[in-house]
Chains A and B, each alone.
Chain A
Amino acid sequence: MRHQERKVSMKRISALLLGLLMMVTTLGVQAIAAESIDINYMCIWAPDFVSPPQTARKVLLEEYKKAWPNVNYIDNSVNNEDYIQKITQLSISDDLPDLFMVNGALLSMLVDAEQIVPVSEYYKNRPEWQAMIPEELYNDFTYKGVAWCVPYQRQASTFLYWNKSIFKECGVEAPPKTVSELIEMAPKFLEKGYYPIGYGSVIPQQYNNCVLNTMMPCYVDDSFVVEMFDNRGPDKTFLDKEGVLRAYQDLYAMGAAKCFNPDICTITENEAYMLFAQGKSAMTGYGGWAGEWMVLNCDEAMLADGNIGVTYWLQPDESTRPADHYTVMAGWGWATNKKVVEEGGEKLEAVLDLMQIYTDNRYTQVAIQNGFTRVPVPVPEGTDLSGLHQIVQDYTALTDSASSVTRDTWYNVFKSSDFVTKVGMITQKLILNEITPEQGVQDLETAYQELVE
């Protein structure tokens, strides 16, 4: 009997102790949880992706983690090709990350859904950060007259990269400056089995970086896209038809002269890089990021002795811009979820700190250490860039010394990527010589009327 009573009391004591232990543990966990901050983060590079900006980002993140030891950093990033879809899905389910990248294609959807806030909210208590970022870069993120993202890059949308060995072998001295020069020299490359320009535009919008942003301002008196935007409306003339026609005639002529690889419309940008890296094309034409890809992926022989040259993209024979003209774009910017701003407090500060170190002058310094200069805060004059690869040095010198720069326009003007895709399709058909330039202008007008209506 006594034995049984003792057994019962032991059970009670054990239960009491267990209960106490559970309470202490719960309280402890709660205390720790109260201090820690979860930041869900998404960018256009999956954690294992290798690129100079990704490396720079990782360096800065380590510094950030030291400053914010209580931040639990959750990286849900996916690579560029899947990123827009992922953010679209998260936007629909109203489950956006705390910090993420946005481009013009996503902007209108996020703003219309009231899921992001104007960029002025970020700069409220950080005027020094705001002062560092050049105004021109907000063009990509301006919608309804308001800027919504902090620019992450400042880069040329299209430059021409050329392989000097191939040029020498084919007896061509310098890269073409105009469309006519390209058409004239194309047979020399084709004769030796090289594509004059290796380009991939399976996604029709890619043409627009080159055609709409960089070439069109050289054909029409004012910026092509801005003109369309300013004049939009069913009763208004929407574009300089003569200028567009001349541009389309040049595209058609380049297609007819086989200036591009024939599978241009079915290969990706990366596959076009491969054509260039494997020495199958004499030139390629992409933005500042292409040079970094080459430094990482071309073999040593190809990169040796400044073998890859960089210059401005082609111009029409009668251009409205000087020869050293290029279009500047940010492309991607940073934004936070509106909920984070509304919640405020320490989490908002933590998110803004992270956003700031990815865009301010510290980012510029780390970028240079990691071999690139496509950063929002310009490289200070007199900075020693000798540690960078020749391609990056040449690229930086060209962007710094250009006498004419057009601001990127198509992202922020044409939120409807349906229209932008249609413009890309017209360009595809012109390069394949499936439609005449006149038909191209007509199709463009039809697409524009559909957009306006």
Chain B
Amino acid sequence: MNGGIFTTKKRYIYLWLLIPVLFYIIFLIAPIILSAFYSLTNWKGGKGMRFTGITNYVKLSKDRDFLLSVQNNIWLMLLCLGGNTLLGYLLALLLSAKYLSLRKLYRFVLFLPVILSGVVVGYLWKMIYNEVPGLLNSLLNMMGLSGWTHLWLGDSKIAMTSICVIRIWKVIGMHLVVYLASLQNISTDVMEASEIDGATGIKRAWYVITPMMSGTLRVSLLLTITDSLKIFDIIYTTTKGGPANASSVMSFLTYRTAFEFFNFGYANAMAIASVLIGTAIVAVVNFVAHKGENQYGI
């Protein structure tokens, strides 16, 4: 009798579980499978479509624009790792210091860009960087630093770095909040004990706090990596991949190939390649981070 009720209950549980699973399959798994299928065709949006095998992937491996985009994504990722993870962590340590007044105000100001839309941030910084109205260059001129003025988005040598600065400004607040929450979770006993043992300031931050926050740091690291690989909105609103492809990234090139060149088969190959590259990077970083944690017995 009991078994019967249990079976009915179980049946209901499975039935209800089926709904989210179906949603997951329809809206996530199926599009990926379809995308993989289209990547093996020459589909250009019309009715005619031919199976071309791995031709798109072979072409991709030689495509200078795509390789440049991968390179740009990696450059962005490295700079954002420095900015979000390292600078964010240092800021969190600074803002958790009890002697610092107006800490809440600083936290608020640093978190503010997080709630802004990427498109708004892009247009905002375009006004800061561009020649007209050229807020940054005007400021530098006013400060007597006219030698430092640049064509921040128009110079292909520094366009990508300028975009990295925008990205860091946009998301550093989120990493800061995660770090601060983690810092607050460190027991006061540990802090007091370390103080008694003579660990203060930088020593305490390095030998006590950092190892205890390794889990949070790893999350921040992975978030930064995935975030850098997905970037689109800021590129679209500031440079549209220019000048001369200098700031093109994988997502933007995929979008352009699909919706400007109408080469959907090739764009799907780009999308699948981007996912594979992203997954490989995340897997390697995750593996290294785990290994580091185990090594130190944390």
Contacts of A262 in B (CB 8 A): 131, 151, 154
- A398 interface contact, C-beta 8 A: no
Q: Name A112's contact: one of B44, B242, B244, B263 (CB within 8 Å).
A: B44
- Asked whether B243 lies within 8 Å of A432 as measured between CB atoms, the reply is yes
Q: How far is the CA of A108 from the CA of B46 in the complex (A)?
A: 9
Known A112-B47, A265-B242; contact A278-B132, beta-carbon cutoff 8 A: yes
Contact residue among B45, B153, B257, B263 (Cβ-Cβ distance under 8 Å from A266): B153
Is B132 in contact with A266, judged by CB distance below 8 angstroms? no
Nearest CB in chain B to that of A113: its residue: B46
Find residues 243-282 in chain B having any chain A CB closer than 8 Å to their own CB.
243-245, 256-257, 259-264
Interface size of A in residues (CB-CB distance below 8 Å): 35
CB distance from B119 to the nearest CB of A (A): 12
B156 is an interface residue with CB less than 8 A from chain A:
yes
16 CB-based A-B contacts, threshold 8 Å: A84-B259, A109-B46, A109-B262, A204-B242, A265-B242, A265-B244, A266-B238, A267-B130, A271-B130, A275-B132, A280-B132, A416-B261, A417-B261, A418-B261, A421-B256, A434-B156
> Do B45 and A263 touch across chains, with their CB atoms under 8 A apart?
no
Known: A202-B240, A263-B153, A434-B156. A91 touches B47 (CB 8 A): no
Q: Does B220 sit at the interface, judged by CB under 8 A?
A: no
Interface residues on B, range: 20 to 34
Question: B297 in the interface, Cβ–Cβ < 8 Å?
Answer: no
A20 to B264: give the CA distance in the assembly, Å.
54
Report the bound CA distance from A418 to B59 in whole Å. Answer: 14
- Residues on the B chain within 8 Å of A204, using CB: 242, 244
Which residues does A use to contact B, with CB under 8 Å? 84-85, 88, 91-92, 105, 108-109, 112-114, 202-204, 261-267, 271, 274-275, 278, 280, 416-418, 421, 425, 428-429, 432, 434
Q: For the complex, what is the distance from the CA of A139 to the CA of B245, rounded to whole Å?
A: 30
**In whole Å, how far is B163's beta carbon from the nearest beta carbon of chain A?**
11
A281 CB to closest chain B CB, in angstroms? 10
**A92/B259 in contact, CB under 8 A:** no
Residue on A with the closest CB to B262? A109
Instruction: Pick the residue among B130, B240, B261, B262 that contacts A263 (CB under 8 A).
Output: B130
Q: Which residue on B lies nearest to A425, using beta carbons?
A: B244
CA distance A108 to B242 in the complex (A): 26
Q: Given A278-B132, A280-B132, A421-B261, 7 more contacts at CB 8 Å?
A: A88-B45, A88-B262, A114-B47, A202-B242, A265-B243, A266-B243, A432-B243
CB pair A421 B260 closer than 8 Å: yes
Chain A nearest CB: distance from B264 CB in Å? Answer: 8
Are the CB atoms of B151 and A263 closer together than 8 Å? yes
- Across the interface, A418 reaches (CB within 8 A) one of B153, B240, B243, B257, namely B257
> Nearest residue in B to A111 (C-beta to C-beta)?
B46
Note all chain A residues with C-beta closer than 8 A to B154.
262-266
In the A-B complex, list the 4 residue pairs whose CB atoms are closest, starting with the nearest.
A265-B243, A112-B46, A113-B46, A263-B154
Binary A-proximity of B42-65 (CB < 8 A = 1, otherwise 0): 001111100000000000000000
Contacts of A105 in B (CB 8 A): 260
B239 within 8 A of A: yes
Q: In this assembly, does B160 line the interface, its C-beta being within 8 Å of a C-beta of chain A?
A: no
> What separation, in Å, do the CA atoms of A271 and B263 have in the docked complex?
29
Provide the bound-state CA to CA distance between A261 and B245, in Å.
19
CB pair A432 B239 closer than 8 Å: no
- Contact (Cβ within 8 A) B244 A429: yes
